[in-house]
Amino acid sequence: MAPPFTDAQGHIEDSPKRIRVLFGGTFVVDTLKAKLVWEHRYYPTYFFPQSELAPEHMRLAAAHPDGDGDKYDLTAGPHTRAGAVTVYGTSHPRFGGLLKIEAGAADAWFEEDEEIFGHPKDPYKRVDVLCSSRHVRVEVDGVEVANSRAPRLLFETGLPVRSYLPKTDCRLDLLVPSDLVTACPYKGQAQYYHVQVSPEKRVENIVWWYRNPNLECAAIGGLVAFYDEKVDVWVDGVKQARAQSKFS
């Protein structure tokens, strides 16, 4: 998505939320001074003034004279995450005086008293889930794996429309549980399936679903979505272009 400002990449704005970062049983950051930073155009990351992470929670790992920042280990007592902190010098053209903690390095992140997952929610994005009667059909390598007239369509600003389908409208005999788990700040924690299109061929991690989605997306609970960019999808009889991955 492109936020409502000219330079989405590198845009920085103050966050009005109290942000806490838990690591090793300690809140290594507890601040009202967090920054939302768009390192790229798709979603923001939390950065902090360097004063918001105490020196005892940092240990120099490697200096980068090319301007990409200096790497520090994140520490809390006996706990260490190597290279998890990037500190940008005051001369850095975009992030001078700030630091970043890799999201996956911490044990938990909190906005106020709510735990967040994956990355911060984008204040310029919304997600809507709508019941639909469109006819959605999915094939993988010429094998029909889903055929539904009761999809729930998920509209997420700037991203392809996703159709979430009842499992009973899918070829469950072809879905093989995967160990992959991902997190979305809007939808929650996703689990995945492979599709076993034949005894010899398995297409990995092209189906996902949310057992317990976040409240704002509760309507997709238990439904499955296919990675439209890697399968063939027909909506109301019209084949969708993989490059676009959007409904006609």
Domain of 30, CATH number, reads 2.170.150.40
Domain of 146, in residue numbers: 127-239
Residue 65 banded pLDDT, cuts 50, 70, 90:
low
Give dist(CA 80, CA 84) in Å, integer: 9
Is the same domain home to 108 and 148? Answer: no
- pLDDT at residue 8 greater than cutoff 80: no
Using only C-alpha atoms, the chain has a radius of gyration, in whole angstroms, of 21
Query: In this predicted structure, which of 38-42, 60-64, 168-172, 183-187 has the lowest mean pLDDT?
Result: 60-64
Asked whether residue 37 is assigned to any structural domain, the reply reads: yes
Is residue 92 a contact partner of residue 47, using CB atoms and an 8 Å limit? no
Q: Please give, one letter per residue, the 3-state secondary structure of 135-148.
A: CEEEEECCEEEEEE
Give dist(CA 233, CA 54) in Å, integer: 51
Last residue of a domain, one of 76, 92, 116: 116
Q: How many residues does the chain have?
A: 248
Question: How many distinct structural domains can be found in the chain?
Answer: 2
Residue 158 banded pLDDT, cuts 50, 70, 90:
confident
Give dist(CA 4, CA 208) in Å, integer: 31
Give dist(CA 119, CA 19) in Å, integer: 12
- Give the model confidence (pLDDT) of 188-236 as tens digits: 999 999 999 999 999 999 999 999 999 999 999 999 999 999 999 999 9
Asked whether residue 244 is assigned to any structural domain, the reply reads: no
- pLDDT at residue 66 greater than cutoff 80: no
Predicted pLDDT at 163? 97
Asked whether residue 1 is assigned to any structural domain, the reply reads: no
Is the same domain home to 40 and 87? Answer: yes
- 221 DSSP 8-state letter: B
Q: Based on the number of CB atoms within 10 Å of its own CB, is 119 exposed (0-12), middle (13-18) or buried (19 or more)?
A: middle
Dihedral of CA atoms 113, 119, 120, 121 in degrees, nearest 10, equals: -110
Is the same domain home to 102 and 142? Answer: no
SS3 172: helix
Give dist(CA 77, CA 69) in Å, integer: 24
Amino acid at site 127: V
Give dist(CA 101, CA 219) in Å, integer: 33
